[in-house]
Amino acid sequence: MKTTLSLLIILLLVSLFSSAKIIISSTSRDTDSDDDIEIDEFDSEFAKLTDEEKLQKIQDDTGIFFEDPDEEVEQKSGLARIQSGYGENLAKYPQIHDFVMNEGWDYEGLEVLFIGDKPELLELDGKSNVLKRHDIRDWTLPQLREKLIELGVKPKK
């Protein structure tokens, strides 16, 4: 637990002082594991790591991933992608917030990324090329679900 708390503090500091975007993975870490180490030991070991190793450790331990906005990122193949924004940008749109947090991970062919300034639905060609963008800020849940089905995105069984 102490390790996770330290990593989250480091994450906040890194995000404050960098232009990195934060993407939350749908993976989780068992916080009750016996391999937690003392904070002092962690800090001294962590200080010895390079920046790349620090980010990798944070990713491995917390499931939180960073995306360099200047780096070309190979996207997964899918039929649609929701770029929901995050924090206050996402909270402004309760219907979209509810879908992303409660249902978004339960669809085959749908990618959900916590990036962007406003919620958008992107139609993809299966190779991550964007065919069309939809501003979904004012969409209802039934409208969003209907559009996903129209695009061939189906709930996982």
Please tell me the pTM assigned to this model. Answer: 0.51
| Strands (DSSP E) found in 15-126 | 21-24, 64-67, 80-83, 107-108, 110-113, 120-124
Digit-coded pLDDT (tens) for 64-78: 655 555 555 444 457
* Residue 22 clears pLDDT 70, i.e. is over it: no
Rg from Cα positions in the chain:
18
Q: Which residue has the higher pLDDT, 128 or 152?
A: 152
Cα–Cα distance for residue pair 157/150, rounded to 1 Å: 18
Q: Domain-by-domain residue ranges, the chain?
A: 2-67, 80-155
Q: Are 39 and 2 in contact (CB under 8 A)?
A: yes
Q: Are 128 and 78 in contact (CB under 8 A)?
A: yes
Least Cα distance to 99 among 69, 74, 119 occurs for: 119
> CATH fold of 80-155, please?
Glutaredoxin (3.40.30)
* Both structure tokens of 91: 């909270």
CA 5 to chain centre: 19
Q: Report pLDDT for 138.
A: 92
